């Protein structure tokens, strides 16, 4: 989580996926924005990937050795192998990544193997550096055997732009560089508009291009401590590639990454804005998903929804059992109260028949008085017992009703969240009506509502705005705000503590930051990707980033524990950094 001063990654990825057994090459299916008709576009014959990560530098001092670059390279390699097809992947780590080996691979071996209709995506993780000269800045990447003392032992930006890029015959080459000063390569910008329609894809497949996405702008240093234990840039790159639903262009990829990296860096009082541009050409690199893996993901999502349905059915059964238990408890308490009433009546009858007679002696009257005193005290004890039993009965009835109501509320909100996910989907808007009908099938009392009347749906079930704003964890009783970024910004630890202390929301003013253990346990409910899980289940704006806890680090009181809603990781960081805030309160 601490700042890594010099980072660079050069990655070579080729998009893949053949649609027909008798067709050579890689295609995608896209929709024409003018006619809404779908068509197939052939992109490449073959695709290649080269992944380079360097932590160890024998010619640099110990203070400049890295610890994240190889891990970043492995992370990129894993996401590409899992989600994308490649004809060939070459991975170079540490001592494998010498200048001679890299240049031989990119200017001799691959050019002999590749054709003009192939694709190449290049990712490099390691050191980058720059030197000043009278005629401008000189930027370069430092290979395993490189040094900052002699520039000829490194791979200069000129080597990349002129030698490597021109020697490679591939139609599309896309560089992604996670390194300090790699922004020196971006000299020609693009319009940055994200396009994915049929006509655009047909046009860009005709044109060659050399595109580049860098971790930062000119002179900017790249941060580590990003999602998944990677650098900020690589973490967001992996996140975007893993989250693609079908093909994704380099233009689309950069639009997502630039915004998130800039936001992550600003939250830590740092400036890092990824650069994107063309070395030459006008084409656009396209990543193509493995269709079989996507099918596996869809099966996984289907299984998750089935599990959710089973969970809701179980909640319904539990609610019915709770109702039966409530009725049994009421009958039992009523029987006990009737028995107490009978005993009280009998006691009153005995007290009324115990009056002293005129012929009784003083001693007899004393004995009788003592008996009446004892019987009176017993009567008072029985009355107090009855009142206590009645209070306990009423409290138990209220508890059972609240428990059943909470389970019903969670079921209603969970079903509504599923409809909202379909309605808000960019690709499933035509299914909004069918989703609403499926929702109403479970709640026929709402059949008179118009399609999409979410407010009316909540009001019909007696839920005001407060209910939809909060989630009560059935395991802990904690109430969480459904808006994962209620503050709308990141804060330092001190600012977060002060903000949540004065927060008044949904009618409550006893909000606090969740403890480290509470936040980590809640993130665990979301599986491998908590933010995606919560945002699909009735929550909103849960950021795939770090959230503060109030728990200070015992080893250093200037640090506090944080939890990452990207992957559930738990770590600590300096309280002066800025992260997100998720208020919580004790619901019961």
> What does the DSSP assignment read for 436-459?
HHHHHHH-GGGTTSPTT-HHHHHH
Structure tokens at 426: 């960019």
What pLDDT shows up at residue 253? 86
CA dihedral sign of residues 220, 566, 571, 580:
positive
CB atoms within 10 A of CB 130: 18
Beta carbons of 177 and 130 less than 8 angstroms apart: no
Beta carbons of 332 and 339 less than 8 angstroms apart: no
SS3 breakdown of the chain: % helix, strand, coil, rounded to 5? Answer: 45, 20, 35
Fold of the domain built from segment(s) 464-586: Mannose-Binding Protein A; Chain A (3.10.100)
- Helices 291-352, 69-83: axis angle to 10 degrees equals 100
Q: Which residues contact 90 (CB under 8 A, 6 or more apart)?
A: 12, 48, 49, 50, 51, 105
What pLDDT shows up at residue 192? 46
Q: Which CATH class is domain 10-289?
A: alpha beta
In the block, tokens 């606090």 appear at 512
Beta carbons of 117 and 173 less than 8 angstroms apart: no
Instruction: Tell me how far apart the 2 most distant CA atoms of the chain are, in Å.
Output: 132
CB atoms within 10 A of CB 442: 11
CB atoms within 10 A of CB 36: 8
- Torsion on CA atoms 130, 131, 132, 133, rounded to nearest 10: -120
CA distance 8 to 72: 10
Strand 47-53 versus strand 155-156 pairing type? unpaired
Q: Can you give 291-318 as a three-state secondary structure string?
A: HHHHHHHHHHHHHHHHHHHHHHHHHHHH
CB atoms within 10 A of CB 526: 20
What pLDDT shows up at residue 115? 92
Residue 126 DSSP one-character state: S
Beta carbons of 288 and 230 less than 8 angstroms apart: no
CB atoms within 10 A of CB 574: 15
Listed in sequence order, the DSSP H helices in 66-133 are: 69-83, 99-104, 110-113
Domain boundaries, the chain: 10-289, 311-442, 464-586
Cα 439 versus chain centre, distance: 26
3-state secondary structure of 104: helix
pLDDT (tens, 9 = 90+) of the chain, 588 residues, equals 333 333 333 332 333 333 333 334 665 555 555 556 666 777 888 999 999 999 999 999 888 888 889 999 999 999 998 888 888 999 999 999 999 999 999 999 999 999 999 999 999 999 888 888 888 778 889 999 999 888 999 999 889 989 999 999 999 999 998 876 555 555 444 444 555 566 676 777 778 889 999 888 766 777 877 777 788 899 899 988 988 877 888 888 888 888 888 888 887 788 888 888 888 888 888 888 886 444 444 455 555 556 666 666 676 677 677 667 766 766 666 666 666 666 666 555 655 555 555 565 667 666 666 766 776 677 677 778 777 777 777 777 767 766 666 677 777 777 877 787 777 776 666 788 888 888 888 888 888 888 888 878 877 776 655 556 888 887 788 899 989 999 999 999 999 999 999 999 988 899 999 999 999 999 998 888 888 888 877 788 899 889 999 999 888 889 999 999 988 889 888 899 889 999 999 875
Nearest to 204 by CA among 80, 50, 44: 44
Beta carbons of 513 and 584 less than 8 angstroms apart: yes
């Amino acid at each position: 989580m601490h700042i890594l001063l010099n980072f660079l990654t050069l990655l070579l990825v080729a998009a893949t996926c053949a649609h027909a057994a008798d067709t050579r090459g890689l295609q995608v299916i896209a929709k024409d924005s003018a006619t809404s008709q779908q068509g197939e576009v052939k992109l490449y014959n073959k695709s290649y990937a080269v992944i380079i990560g360097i932590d160890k530098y024998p010619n640099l001092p110990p203070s400049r050795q890295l610890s994240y670059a190889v891990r970043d390279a492995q992370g990129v390699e894993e996401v590409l192998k899992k989600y994308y097809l490649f004809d060939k992947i070459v991975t170079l780590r540490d001592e494998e990544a010498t200048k001679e080996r890299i240049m031989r691979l990119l200017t001799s071996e691959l050019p002999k193997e590749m054709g003009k209709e192939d694709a190449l995506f290049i990712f490099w993780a390691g050191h980058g550096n720059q030197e000043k000269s009278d005629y401008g800045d000189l930027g370069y990447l430092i290979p395993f055997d490189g040094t900052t003392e002699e520039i000829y032992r490194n791979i200069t930006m000129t080597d990349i732009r002129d030698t490597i890029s021109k020697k490679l015959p591939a139609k599309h080459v896309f560089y992604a560089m996670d390194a300090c000063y790699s922004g020196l390569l971006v000299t020609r910008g693009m319009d940055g508009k994200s396009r994915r329609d049929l006509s655009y894809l047909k046009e860009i497949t005709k044109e060659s291009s050399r595109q580049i996405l860098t971790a930062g702008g000119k002179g900017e240093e790249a941060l580590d401590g990003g999602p998944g234990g990677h650098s900020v840039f690589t973490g967001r790159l992996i996140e975007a590639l893993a989250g693609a639903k079908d093909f994704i262009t380099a233009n689309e990829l950069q639009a997502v990454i630039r915004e998130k990296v800039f936001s992550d860096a600003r939250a830590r009082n740092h400036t890092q804005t990824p650069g994107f541009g063309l070395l030459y050409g006008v084409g656009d690199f396209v990543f193509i998903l493995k269709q079989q893996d996507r099918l596996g993901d869809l099966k996984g999502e289907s299984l998750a929804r089935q599990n959710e349905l089973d969970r809701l059915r179980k909640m319904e059964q539990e609610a019915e059992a709770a109702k039966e238990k409530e009725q049994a408890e009421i009958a039992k308490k009523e029987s006990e109260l009737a028995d107490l009433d009978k005993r009280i009546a009998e006691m009153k009858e005995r007290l009324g028949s115990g009056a002293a007679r005129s012929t009784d002696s003083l001693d007899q009257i004393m004995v009788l008085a003592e008996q009446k005193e004892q019987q009176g005290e017993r009567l008072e004890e029985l009355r107090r017992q009855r009142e206590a039993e009645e209070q306990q009965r009423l409290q138990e009835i209220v508890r059972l009703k609240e428990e059943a109501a909470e389970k019903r509320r969670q079921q209603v909100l969970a079903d509504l969240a599923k409809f909202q996910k379909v309605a808000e989907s960019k690709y499933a808007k035509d299914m909004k009506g069918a989703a609403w009908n499926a929702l109403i099938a479970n709640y026929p009392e709402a059949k008179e509502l118009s399609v999409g009347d979410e407010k009316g749906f909540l009001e019909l079930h007696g839920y005001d705005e407060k209910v939809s704003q909060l989630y009560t964890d059935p395991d802990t009783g904690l109430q969480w705000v459904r808006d994962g970024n209620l503050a709308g910004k990141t804060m330092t630890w001190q600012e977060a503590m002060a903000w949540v202390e004065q927060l008044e929301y949904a009618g409550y003013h006893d909000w606090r930051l969740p403890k480290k253990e509470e936040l980590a346990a809640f993130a665990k409910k979301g599986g491998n990707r908590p933010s995606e899980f919560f945002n699909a289940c009735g929550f909103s704006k849960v950021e795939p980033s770090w959230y503060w806890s109030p728990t200070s680090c015992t080893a250093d009181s200037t640090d506090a524990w944080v939890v990452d809603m990207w992957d559930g990781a738990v770590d600590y960081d300096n309280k002066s950094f800025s992260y997100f805030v998720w208020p919580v309160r004790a619901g019961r």
